[in-house]
């Protein structure tokens, strides 16, 4: 199998503070991977580095065999939090922005997903509830036809119905070869859709394991395995 | 579907499909939903469904027809065997647990009869 993401000896500091140190990570094509870690462990930073949004790291990040930042940007769809938009902007304007900026944005795919997630494009960004906003972010992120999708904590503070819808749309619209990396600090609700988990602890990759292997070999639940990883010192 | 997070999901899906076939929700020769649809219905990864299906195909409980999809076997003896296998599995769990409590074989039969009677009374 081909690797979608390869990270070698990656280190990153911000304001003289080490955030990530000597990260090595390989993710194969087609996987759904849970990126787990406490708040502040560096999950978002790692995603931003893979997406090519954060710069100034040491080491090597290869996405779909590409190392140049521009090439990486075009191959990674990162769940932007939409904070750069004016709160009064209408959703339909955000969609046309995406169509303009990303050549791989599929309007057909978006429309299908928006119907499923019941997104109302006539609303203003500021009128969206937390769950609605998260559904829009997922819809926009997954509508790009690309190889790697990074979903940064899409389940924070939303109700279980919305969560179910988001999980269903991940299963429904993920193409067979695409990789989805989804971060969370709580894993139970998404454990059933994950192929692997990657635990970030002490500024680096503490463990990378197949979820079925955790269940089969250790007879442990994924949440339990993750909690134990954080407990061991 | 609710999963036990300590048991491999592909294994739980196999058991789910066995049950659907044995109780007749999936009929002999019936076509299974597409892999992705099964994944959505059961809220799991497509890879997990594929693993479960490939084992069911190896066991000849499911037959894969090229270009057409996956079908429940048309061989009735397969289903009878399957039913028998699952019954033995459940009985063996109960038997082992009771033996660990030093319940004798004769007592197991008596307790089981008593239990069935109690359940029947509760129902009526």
| Contact at CB, A176 and B46, closer than 8 angstroms | yes
d(CA A190, CA A172): 15
Report the range of poorest mean pLDDT among A11-20, A89-98, A181-190: A181-190
What whole-number percentage of chain A has pLDDT above 70?
A: 99
How far, rounded to the nearest angstrom, does the alpha carbon of residue A105 sit from its chain's CA centroid?
17
| A66, β-bridge pairs | A63
Token digits of residue A70: 């521009």
Determine contact, residues A129/A161, Cβ cutoff 8 Å.
no
Residue of B nearest to A225 (CA): B6
| Contact at CB, B6 and A220, closer than 8 angstroms | yes
Tell me the residue range of the domain where A158 lies.
Answer: 3-231
Residue of B nearest to A218 (CA): B6
Residue B15 confidence (pLDDT) above 90: yes
Residue A50 confidence (pLDDT) above 60: yes
What mean pLDDT is predicted for residues A157-166? 88
| Contact at CB, B44 and A193, closer than 8 angstroms | yes
Residue A179 confidence (pLDDT) above 90: yes
Q: Among candidates A171, A86, A187, which has minimal Cα distance to B41?
A: A171
How many residue pairs from chains A and B have C-beta atoms closer than 8 A? 54
Query: Domain-by-domain residue ranges, chain B?
Result: 9-74, 77-123
- What pLDDT does residue A21 have? 95
Please report which confidence band the pLDDT of residue A214 belongs to, taking 50, 70 and 90 as the band edges: very high
- What pLDDT does residue A79 have? 92
**A168 at B interface, C-beta within 8 A:** yes
| Contact at CB, A215 and B36, closer than 8 angstroms | no
Please report which confidence band the pLDDT of residue A66 belongs to, taking 50, 70 and 90 as the band edges: confident
- What pLDDT does residue B49 have? 96
- Beta-sheet pairing, A204-210 with A196-201: antiparallel
- What pLDDT does residue A1 have? 66
**B24 at A interface, C-beta within 8 A:** no
CA distances, A36 to each of A142, A171, A197 (Å):
21, 20, 7
pLDDT digits over A23-49, tens only?
999 999 999 999 999 888 899 999 999
CA distances, A221 to each of A23, A34, A107, A193 (Å):
25, 14, 39, 14
Residue A94 confidence (pLDDT) above 80: yes
What whole-number percentage of chain A has pLDDT above 90?
A: 76
CATH number of the domain to which A64 belongs: 3.40.50.300
- What pLDDT does residue A230 have? 85
Token digits of residue B40: 């959505």
What mean pLDDT is predicted for residues A205-221? 94
| A181, β-bridge pairs | A33, A150
| Contact at CB, A30 and B40, closer than 8 angstroms | no
**A223 at B interface, C-beta within 8 A:** yes
Chain A residues lying within 8 Å of B2, measured CB to CB: none
Choose from A161, A169, A181, A193 for mutation: most chain B CBs within 10 A: A193
Question: If you average pLDDT over every residue of chain A, what do you get?
Answer: 92
**B84 at A interface, C-beta within 8 A:** no
| Contact at CB, A212 and B48, closer than 8 angstroms | yes
Q: Among candidates A183, A207, A230, which has minimal Cα distance to A45?
A: A183
Determine contact, residues A121/A92, Cβ cutoff 8 Å.
yes
A42: DSSP letter: S
Q: Which residue has the tokens 């749309």?
A: A169
- What pLDDT does residue A33 have? 97
- What pLDDT does residue A158 have? 85
Q: Long-range contacts: A79-87, Cβ < 8 Å, 24+?
A: A79/A137, A79/A138, A79/A141, A79/A149, A79/A150, A79/A151, A79/A152, A79/A154, A80/A137, A80/A140, A80/A141, A81/A137, A81/A152, A82/A125, A82/A133, A82/A136, A82/A137, A85/A125, A86/A125, A87/A124, A87/A125, A87/A126
What mean pLDDT is predicted for residues A88-104? 95
d(CA A116, CA A158): 17
Q: Long-range contacts: A131-135, Cβ < 8 Å, 24+?
A: A131/A158, A131/A159, A131/A162, A133/A82, A134/A158, A134/A162, A134/A166, A135/A162, A135/A165, A135/A166
Between residues A15 and A205, the one the model is more confident about? A205
- What pLDDT does residue A124 have? 95
Question: If you average pLDDT over every residue of chain B, what do you get?
Answer: 94
**A174 at B interface, C-beta within 8 A:** yes
| Contact at CB, A172 and B46, closer than 8 angstroms | no
Q: What single string gives the DSSP state of each residue in A184-232?
A: ES--GGGGGG-SEEEEEETTEEEEEEEHHHHHHHH---HHHHHHHHHH-
Please report which confidence band the pLDDT of residue A71 belongs to, taking 50, 70 and 90 as the band edges: confident
| Contact at CB, A216 and B43, closer than 8 angstroms | no
What mean pLDDT is predicted for residues A122-145? 94
Chain A residues lying within 8 Å of B38, measured CB to CB: none
Residue A232 confidence (pLDDT) above 90: no
d(CA A108, CA B19): 38
Between residues A33 and A66, the one the model is more confident about? A33
Q: Which CATH number fits domain B9-74: 3.40.50.300, 3.50.50.60, 1.10.10.10, 1.10.150.120?
A: 1.10.10.10
Residue A98 confidence (pLDDT) above 80: yes
- What pLDDT does residue A233 have? 57
d(CA B97, CA B107): 13
Report the range of poorest mean pLDDT among A106-110, A184-188, B30-34: A184-188
| Contact at CB, B44 and A171, closer than 8 angstroms | yes
Count of structural domains within chain A: 1
């Amino acid at each position: 199998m081909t690797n979608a993401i390869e990270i070698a000896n990656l280190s990153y500091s911000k304001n003289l503070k080490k955030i990530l140190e000597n990260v090595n990570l390989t993710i194969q094509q087609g996987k759904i991977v849970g990126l787990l870690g406490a708040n502040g462990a560096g999950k978002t930073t790692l995603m931003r580095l893979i997406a090519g949004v954060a710069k100034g790291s040491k080491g090597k990040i290869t996405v779909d065999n590409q190392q140049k930042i521009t090439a990486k940007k075009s191959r990674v769809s990162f769940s932007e939090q939409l904070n750069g938009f004016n709160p009064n902007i209408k959703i339909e304007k955000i969609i046309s922005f995406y169509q303009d900026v990303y050549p791989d944005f599929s309007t057909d795919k978006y429309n299908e997903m928006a119907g499923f997630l019941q997104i109302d494009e006539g609303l203003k960004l500021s009128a969206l509830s937390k769950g609605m906003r998260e559904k829009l972010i997922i819809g926009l992120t997954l509508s790009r036809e690309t190889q790697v999708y990074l979903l940064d904590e899409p389940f924070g503070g939303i109700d279980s119905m919305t969560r179910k819808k988001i999980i269903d749309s991940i299963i429904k619209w993920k193409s067979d070869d695409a990789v989805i990396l989804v971060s969370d600090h709580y894993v139970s609700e998404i454990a059933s859709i994950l192929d692997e988990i990657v635990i970030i602890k002490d500024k680096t990759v503490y463990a990378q394991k197949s979820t079925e292997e955790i269940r089969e070999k250790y007879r442990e639940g994924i949440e339990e395995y993750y909690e134990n990883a954080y407990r061991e010192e | 579907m609710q999963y036990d997070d300590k048991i491999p999901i592909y294994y739980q899906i196999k058991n789910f499909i066995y049950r659907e076939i044995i109780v007749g929700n999936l009929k002999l020769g019936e076509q299974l939903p597409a892999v992705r649809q099964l994944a959505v219905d059961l809220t799991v990864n497509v890879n997990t469904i594929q693993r479960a299906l490939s084992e069911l195909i190896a066991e000849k409980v499911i037959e894969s027809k090229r270009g057409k999809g996956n079908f429940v076997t048309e061989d009735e003896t397969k289903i009878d065997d399957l039913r028998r296998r699952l019954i033995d599995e459940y009985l063996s769990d109960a038997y082992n647990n009771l033996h660990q409590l030093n319940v004798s074989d004769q007592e197991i039969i008596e307790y089981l009869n008593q239990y069935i009677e109690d359940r029947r009374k509760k129902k009526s």
